[in-house]
Amino acid sequence: MATRWSAAAVVSALLVVLAGAMTMSATAQAPPGGMTVFVPGKRNSESTCKDDGKTRKGKNKPKPKPCTARCNDRCPTKCLVLCPGCITFCLCDFYPGVACGDPRFTGGDGNNFYFHGKKDQDFCVVADSDLHINAHFIGNHNPATGRDFTWIQAIGVLFPNHRLSLGALRSAKWNPAVDRLEIAFDDERVNLPRAVGARWSPASAPALSVTRTSPVNDVVVELKGVFRLVASAVPITAQESSVHNYGITADDCLAHLDLGFKFQGLSDDVHGVLGQTYRSDYVSKLNVAAKMPVMGGGADFVSSGLFATDCAVARFGRSGASADGIAMVTDAKYV
């Protein structure tokens, strides 16, 4: 029987297992921390956690029993499963650091809000002295309703001396067996074997790693001591389009990213769409009673490119101990 936890408990468990899981080689091995991703309704719609005897600590602690996890109705497209215990949850459950769909964020303060941005533009979602993350938005205008919809298609991550991009490739028709994630580090493409547990880490920044949690379209990105990111490339389905009037067309299924961040070293001066919600002095101006609270102030967050640090609230590159500290833990010369 699969175990259901609260969102907070699930995130805590996820982060604990992932923290010790990024030591695998560049070949396919066991998934990080026993985490796998599966798609309901497919041949792999069930995931089994087996007792391997490695999780027992102490003579009196019983071994975990084998169990089977199944997706529930809250996860119509993908489930994440943690072993042992068959703990199941959806990537887009409400927990701090999530950015999913059209895009809905959950801030560091726990409040949910929408930030619609603008089609074909970039916005800084995290702006700190040693870490800067921009998001590139794609969108669609439905003439039948007159509404504009947007999604995060790619992110650009800058940290001292390096940069990483992660994006969902444009697709006309979504094939779940085809990998539509595109990853690049310092402008060179990252090629990951299509196997659960396949891991990549650059020699020039050994604290950075990318690990697959399913053969295609799902990865965990970690910059040790700085952030951890669970990312999935997903389409807009015909059913979603029908329910929400997205107006997708036959030539574009609007492939985008669903993201879940965990930050470990943000300063109290951090800003950006998501970053500002982690400040100790942050006071939300959202109407949290609204059905769809929307964060405004788009002009403060717009950037000129995926790796640009010119948004009005940018902090990247400011001198300080924190920036020097990140360089020391990420650069090979300090390892």
CB atoms within 10 A of CB 106: 23
| Cα distance between residue 319 and residue 293, in whole Å | 35
Nearest to 15 by CA among 327, 324, 303, 262: 262
**Stretch 139-148: mean pLDDT:** 82
pLDDT, position 228: 93
| The pair of three-digit structure tokens given for residue 254, joined into one six-digit string | 């609007």
Indicate if the pLDDT at residue 256 is higher than 80: yes
The answer to whether 232 and 78 have CB atoms below 8 angstroms apart is yes
Q: In the chain, how many domains are there? A: 1
Predicted local confidence at residue 315, as pLDDT: 97
Q: Looking at the predicted structure, is the pLDDT value of residue 334 above 50?
A: no
CA angle 111, 245, 113 (to 5 degrees): 10
Cα–Cα distances in angstroms (integers) from residue 110 to residues 88, 92, 105, 186, 295, in the given order: 21, 13, 10, 33, 14
pLDDT digits (tens, 9 = 90+) for 51-74: 544 445 555 666 666 777 766 666
pLDDT at residue number 330: 45
pLDDT in tens, 262-297: 999 899 999 999 999 999 999 988 887 787 788 888
305 is a domain residue: yes
- Residue percentage of the chain with pLDDT more than 90: 49
pLDDT above 50 for 15: no
Choose between 233 and 17: higher pLDDT.
Answer: 233
Name residue 256's amino acid.
H
Considering the domain boundaries, does residue 326 fall inside one? Answer: yes
Tell me which of 56 and 85 has the higher pLDDT. 85
The pTM score is 0.79
Say if 12 falls within a structural domain.
Answer: no
Say what the pLDDT of residue 87 is: 73
pLDDT at 27: 32
Please tell me which residue, 249 or 68, carries the higher pLDDT value.
249
Q: Is residue 44 part of a domain?
A: no
- pLDDT confidence of residue 47: 64
Q: Higher-confidence residue: 117 or 152?
A: 152
Assigned domain for 103 exists? yes
Mean predicted confidence (pLDDT) in 152-174? 96
Average pLDDT value for residue range 95-120 = 90
Find the domain containing 183 and state its range: 91-330
> Residue 55 falls within a domain, yes or no?
no
Give the confidence band of 116 by pLDDT, cuts at 50, 70, 90.
Answer: confident
Question: What average pLDDT does this structure show over 178-207?
Answer: 96
Q: What span, in angstroms and rounded, lies between the C-alpha atoms of 219 and 181?
A: 9
Report the pLDDT value the prediction gives residue 125, as an integer from 0 to 100: 97
Q: Average the pLDDT over 205-228 and give the result.
A: 94
The pLDDT > 70 percentage for the chain reads 71
In a domain, 85, yes or no: no
Total residues found in the chain within this entry:
335
User: Which of 5-19, 36-50, 89-103 is modeled with the greatest confidence?
Assistant: 89-103
Mean pLDDT of the chain: 80
With 0-12 CB in 10 A as exposed, 13-18 as middle and 19+ as buried, what is 187? Answer: exposed
Determine contact, residues 117/286, Cβ cutoff 8 Å.
Answer: no
Using DSSP's 3-state secondary structure scheme, residue 210 falls into: strand
pLDDT at res. 2: 40
User: Do the domain assignments include residue 234?
Assistant: yes
